[in-house]
Homo-oligomer: A and B are copies of this chain.
Amino acid sequence: MPHITALDTLDVRFPTSRELDGSDAMNPDPDYSAAYVVLRTDDPDGLAGHGFAFTIGRGNDVQRAAIQSLDHLVVGRSVAEITGALGDFARTLTDDSQLRWLGPEKGVVHMAAGAVINAAWDLAAKRAGKPVWQLVSEMPPEQIVDLIDFRYLTDALTRQEALDILRAAAPGRAERTEYLLTQGYPAYTTSPGWLGYSDDKLARLARQAVADGFGTIKIKVGRDVDEDVRRVQIARAAIGPDIGLAVDANQRWDVDAAVDWISRLAPADLAWVEEPTSPDDILGHAEIRRRVAPVPISTGEHGQNRILFKQLLQAGAVDLLQIDAARVGGVNENLAILLLAAKFGVPVVPHAGGVGLCELVQHLAMIDYVAVSGTMRDRAIEFVDHLHEHFRDPVRVRDGRYLPPRAPGFSAEMLPATLAAYSYPAGTAWHAGLTEDGTTNYPPAADLSTKEYEIS
């Protein structure tokens, strides 16, 4: 009977700010980082569960400390007990009353719970010999609803309604699984559109994205409206009229500013406008959506928990919902959000990018397709071709589609060499940049160049 013997954490950071990959109007210089957790066991085969919270640099140590603070809830417990009742396990992590005070259910403590819950899913899926998407997609509806904390949801979605949705989707599971395995799941790409890129680079990468088979691209906006009008025109000219063009404002606007700005950009025929304002502003999104209709509005990557998503749907605030695999309370809370979206008939278009977010979130989109909404219509998973080389089971995108992961687990595990080299501040990647006074600096470009957009 194996047990959890340790909850180990690591501060892993990539100096992405050097190349302005990932730059947007709110986040000019992100260093993509992972507060990384490993649930170690005494299983003779070396079974371990990996997970992480995603951050953009400073504060990754705070996030790591928050993950570490959960170890009293995990270490010493039976692996079978945890993986056999992942709903109970998730509630244990989000319900510690003293830690809950620090959120509740939001921000650093909630992302910490999400990281550990996702690591437990990695453990459970490895133990079952299946990728997470398949593990969940094969569960009976009753088992799936047991994973979910319906507290604060029942005015919008009861356990019985969730069961009904899952049961309605059950008959087509086998056929959809087969389709998914052969055809993959649509991707869209953000790689062309970072704010730091030149017009030429934008146009070149946009054309390349179309050639690589993507049906939608996304570019960042929100720094200067005239510049944005020019850039969406460049992008539209590069991709032609039949490819989707989304824009992402990364929370830059107040309500009136959003309406004015979106009205200027709308002639480029926008697939959606992402994060026009604060991720907390449910009523603000609803007001913007009403005033710029029919331009589609989306948000969710910074959505703090299921209660926020519930209200976005109740208020009619969004046309698309953008889940993130590492912001909320793990697979469990994202299952609640997928079911809420299905109840309200709103497509889920997952947020990814960063480091490892594509690896995780693809599983959730595939669960949505096979077991929840039963459709890929109006849906696509974000794809950014950064940092996948650091993972043991990296995403595979071909002809603009994600191919389903086949390896057991949650695709969350980084390579040992990466964990060593990018550990902050002691890893060799950062050590190269240590200055005389002991502060860190960027290592030479040759050691750390991140790849430009290029489909593998």
Chain A residues within CB distance 8 Å of chain B: 26-31, 55-59, 61-63, 65-66, 69, 96-111, 151-155, 251, 254-256, 277-284, 287, 302, 304-305, 307-308, 310-311, 314-315
Contacts and interface: CB of A to CB of B under 8 A. Distances in A.
A130 B31 CA distance: 43
B97 A108 contact: no
Contacts of A98: 27, 29-31, 55-59
Nearest to A17: B98
Contacts of A111: 102
A379 to B, nearest CB: 26
13 contacts: A55-B102, A56-B98, A59-B66, A59-B99, A61-B69, A62-B69, A63-B102, A108-B109, A152-B280, A152-B281, A154-B254, A155-B287, A280-B305
A27 B95 CA distance: 10
B102 A62 contact: yes
A31 B277 CA distance: 37
- In the complex, the count of this chain's copies comes to 2
A127 B447 CA distance: 50
A304 B106 contact: yes
Q: Main secondary structure on chain A at its contact with chain B?
A: loop
Contacts of A102: 55, 59, 62-63, 107-108, 111
A302 B69 CA distance: 21
A208 B378 CA distance: 64
Interface centre among A98, A101, A277, A311 (most CB of B within 10 A): A101
Contacts of A96: 58
A342 to B, nearest CB: 19
A97 B151 contact: no
Contacts of A66: 59, 62, 108
Question: What 8 A-B pairs are tightest by C-beta distance, nearest first?
Answer: A107-B107, A108-B108, A155-B255, A58-B98, A57-B98, A152-B278, A280-B307, A154-B254
Nearest to A327: B101
Contacts of A57: 98
Contacts of A58: 69, 96, 98-99
Contacts of A282: 282-283, 311
A135 to B, nearest CB: 29
A56 B281 contact: no
A101 B59 contact: yes
Contacts of A100: 26
A280 B314 CA distance: 14
B284 A152 contact: yes
A97 B315 CA distance: 29
B104 A302 contact: yes
A282 B155 CA distance: 13
Contacts of A69: 58-59, 61-62
A109 B108 CA distance: 7
B29 A97 contact: yes
A278 B314 CA distance: 16
A279 B29 contact: no
A352 to B, nearest CB: 15
B62 A62 contact: yes
Contacts of A29: 97-98
A29 B105 CA distance: 19
A68 to B, nearest CB: 8
